[in-house]
Amino acid sequence: MNKVTEFFAPGKIIFGPGGLSQVGVEAKRLGSKVLVVLGRSAMRKSGALDRLTHLLTENNLEYIIYENILSDPTVETVDTGASLARKGSCNLIIALGGGSVLDTGKAISAMVVNEGSVADYQEIEGKGRKFQHKPIPFIAIPTTSGTGSEATRNAVITNTKLGLKKSIRDLCLIPEVALVDPELTLSLPPHITAICGCDALTQCIESYLGKKSQEITNALALHAIGLIGKSLVKAVKEGKNLEARKDMAMAALLSGLCLSNSGLGAAHALSHPLGVYYKIPHGLSCAVLLPYIMEYNQPVVTKKLAKIAECLGENISSLSETEAAQRAVEKIKEILTAVGIKENLSEWKIKEEDFPQLIKGAKGGSLNNNLRDISDKDLTELLYKMTGLC
């Protein structure tokens, strides 16, 4: 059936090794006083923060630093940052870090000029307010290759009071500039490289297989899947391999474009409550869930799974469509094993009595976008498999 589709992307994408050098010029174009949002100490240790602040100063820009953003940013983290930006009369946000840092910066850019708490705007029943004012400009500079937050219209925020991890979502949240410099990822440890890369892989596959898939995102997703198949293991095992890092940075960027325009699926739906209740890294839970979700969806996405196998370099010429689809699942498992991801999360000691809460937390947009309908019973069976309790 023919359908009308829309595609949205950052106002400007700067990509390539050394791209950070352009941040001063871009910042000067957009503002005069900057709130720089950071994680803990990695950007200070690597020298990236010094380079950034030097470029801001060189372009006569003032800045305030808001740092120590942890994984899974909370409502309180965003609200505090927005208050700091307002008090400092900041008119530009720059986030330098991983997905949590980028999501925090993105949310702050909106809350600086909108009233209330960011919790009021989360996709939670009874809330979900719309932004009345356009966010101040936001420049996203990723230092990991995974979430694709530099290209998305949403920010995932943990609401500790409600025990939920939900998005704020609006087209106005898409960054003004996505500045992707693969050199910033060269110092990433192997295990972080692995789980971030698996997050990007999951995003590409789920958007490709989802109900809202479209021609543009399908093309981007398949290209990104090929890049990940070619370079993720290299990036994990040869951290200073710039070509592999470049491939992964591009794949992550493309994954963000895909998920922002075509949504995700059941793996992401379940990964959010697992992060809230068990503090399991998002990319890790997505990685473990991915092959199980692919197998679950196989009856309705056989042809697409076969195409994934082909993009991952598998010779499927002598295989039936069903065999090729299964080969895609097996290839994903091989990649996960090669980068040190186990087949289940048994070491996290997930309790069976928590399943109802995990399933409740999975409900929402990502789960609704899963092409094959998925019941609570199905989710329970998936949880048994991925927790190692079966």
Yes or no: say if 276 and 163 are a contact pair by the CB < 8 Å rule. yes
Domains and CATH numbers, the chain: 12-185 (3.40.50.1970), 190-387 (1.20.1090.10)
pLDDT at 294: 97
pLDDT at 369: 96
pLDDT by position in tens, the chain (length 390): 468 889 999 999 999 999 999 999 999 999 999 999 999 888 888 889 999 999 999 999 999 999 999 888 999 999 999 999 999 999 999 999 999 999 999 999 999 999 999 999 998 875 778 999 999 999 999 999 999 999 999 999 999 898 888 899 999 999 999 999 999 999 999 999 999 999 999 999 999 999 999 999 999 999 999 999 999 999 999 999 999 999 999 999 999 999 999 999 999 999 989 998 999 999 999 999 999 999 999 999 999 999 999 999 999 999 999 999 999 999 999 999 999 999 999 999 999 999 999 999 999 889 999 999 999 999 999 999 999 887
